[in-house]
Amino acid sequence: MKQDMIVILDLGSTENTKLARDIREMGVYSEIYPHDITASELKELPNVKGIIINGGPNNVVDGSPIDVRPELYEAGYPVMAAGHNAAACERSIHSWDEADSDQVLRSFVFDTCKAQPNWNMKNFISDQVELIRQQVGDKKVLLALSGGVDSSVVAALLIKAIGKQLTCVHVNHGLMRKGESESVIDVFKNQMDANLVYVDAADRFLGKLAGVADPEQKRKIIGAEFICVFEEEARKLEGIEFLAQGTIYPDIVESGTKTAKVVKSHHNVGGLPEDLNFTLVEPLRQLFKDEVRACGLELGLPHSMVYRQPFPGPGLGVRCLGAITRERLEAVRESDAILREEFANAGLDKTVWQYFTIVPDFKSVGVRDNARCFDYPVIIRAVNTVDAMTASIERIDYDVLQRITDRILKEVKNVNRVCYDLSPKPTATIEWE
């Protein structure tokens, strides 16, 4: 890292992440560290220009008061206390109140710490390329490339750094959206000339899932089978020492530091095949999601890949309710493709956070071609949210809904009704499981 850094010390404030983001938005790199970091640990960090002690309410975590080590005040860095407990921080040199926080923060970062605004994706990429080359040398790296934003950006970064020393494995579990595996192959194999192993494991996954209706059980099977397939592919490849992963900064912060509570545990498909003994390469571990996207664009990934909507690791498996069958899976995939196409035509892909279709495992009576039919419904869901913890319903124009409905009823087999889900989260969740 050549970039200047402001260190935020975590005294249990929920605002740490926002503060780090605010500083990065000023073009200065910032990271959160535990409150009890020692002066010598701090001195080992690259290019530290100043410290912000960001307190939780009264500096109390789990009932016990906490503070930073007094030696930090003597370590030679400018120190500022932030948060409502500023007065409680020992000997802090600067402090702010809420009213003028942006100006105070700017003045601390630029005037007091004299930090250079040199945090940008071009610099990040050139730093990481160098670091990856140093870490990996002439050895080989393996990456599970799902086609999601994080794994795609890791792949692009590693291709830039080490080219064919990277092998990407794309496992198609048969629960991908329409065109998704094709676009992974097109972008990475055809355009970026990557070493890409494509594994069509659809039959295998669907075989294991046959007759399984319980949502948690389905997730477990998909997760375990994914590891199994990935491991098999890894064992076929000779001499791989490193495993690349798309871990990003919120994964680290939300998984809990000493003083921050665990916000959510991660539930993606995959995980480490432990006995393979890989060393991890995690070049995005410092980035927030929007920075990952900016990095992807800078590396030349298509906008559609970088701004892809969130998609569960177990894929369409969570939207094909009950025991998955090929006919209902096909109905979810085709109706989802129509929904995405019509949302894009209406410009809604730029404003709506997440939208998809669900096919439940029950039928109802309808009429088609003057005859009784007994088919599945398709449910449309379109929600807006900031953090996926709560969500509101998008008010879709009636004409757009009508067009989507007409197309689904005409083009998707085994479907005779289309419904629109009006339930916010809570009480509903975003997905239907």
Give me the residues that bind ligand XMP (CB under 6 A), please.
267-268, 310, 312-314, 354, 388, 425, 429-431
Pairing of strands 64-65, 60-61: antiparallel
Q: How far is the CB of 196 from ligand XMP (least distance, A)?
A: 22
Q: How far is the CB of 291 from ligand XMP (least distance, A)?
A: 18
Q: How far is the CB of 430 from ligand XMP (least distance, A)?
A: 3
**Was 423 annotated as part of a binding site?**
no
Choice between 392 and 429, CB closer to ligand XMP: 429
**Was 147 annotated as part of a binding site?**
yes
Q: How far is the CB of 222 from ligand XMP (least distance, A)?
A: 9
**Was 109 annotated as part of a binding site?**
no
Say how far apart CA 300 and CA 302 lie, in whole Å: 6
Choice between 89 and 329, CB closer to ligand XMP: 329
**Was 30 annotated as part of a binding site?**
no
Say how far apart CA 379 and CA 392 lie, in whole Å: 16
Reduced to 3 states, what is the DSSP secondary structure of residue 257? Answer: coil
**Was 152 annotated as part of a binding site?**
yes
Q: How far is the CB of 366 from ligand XMP (least distance, A)?
A: 29
Contact partners, residue 341, CB within 8 Å, separation at least 6: none
Say how far apart CA 96 and CA 103 lie, in whole Å: 10
Choice between 241 and 431, CB closer to ligand XMP: 431
Choice between 83 and 312, CB closer to ligand XMP: 312
**Was 183 annotated as part of a binding site?**
no
Q: Tokens for 57?
A: 């309410």
DSSP label at residue 278: P
Say how far apart CA 188 and CA 171 lie, in whole Å: 14
Give start and end residues of each alpha helix (H) in 137-248.
Answer: 149-162, 180-184, 202-209, 215-236
Q: How far is the CB of 306 from ligand XMP (least distance, A)?
A: 16
Reduced to 3 states, what is the DSSP secondary structure of residue 11? Answer: strand
Q: How far is the CB of 96 from ligand XMP (least distance, A)?
A: 34
Choice between 183 and 384, CB closer to ligand XMP: 384
Choice between 273 and 312, CB closer to ligand XMP: 312
**Was 171 annotated as part of a binding site?**
no
| DSSP codes of every residue in 340-391 | HHHHHHTTGGGT-SEEEEEB-S--EEEEETTEEEEEEEEEEEEEE-SSSSSB
Choice between 118 and 384, CB closer to ligand XMP: 384
Reduced to 3 states, what is the DSSP secondary structure of residue 263? Answer: coil
Say how far apart CA 348 and CA 353 lie, in whole Å: 9
Taking the mean position of all CA atoms in its chain, how far away is CA 162? 24
Find the radius of gyration of the CA atoms of the chain: 25
Residue ranges of the binding site? 146-152
Binding site per annotation, positions for ATP: 146-152
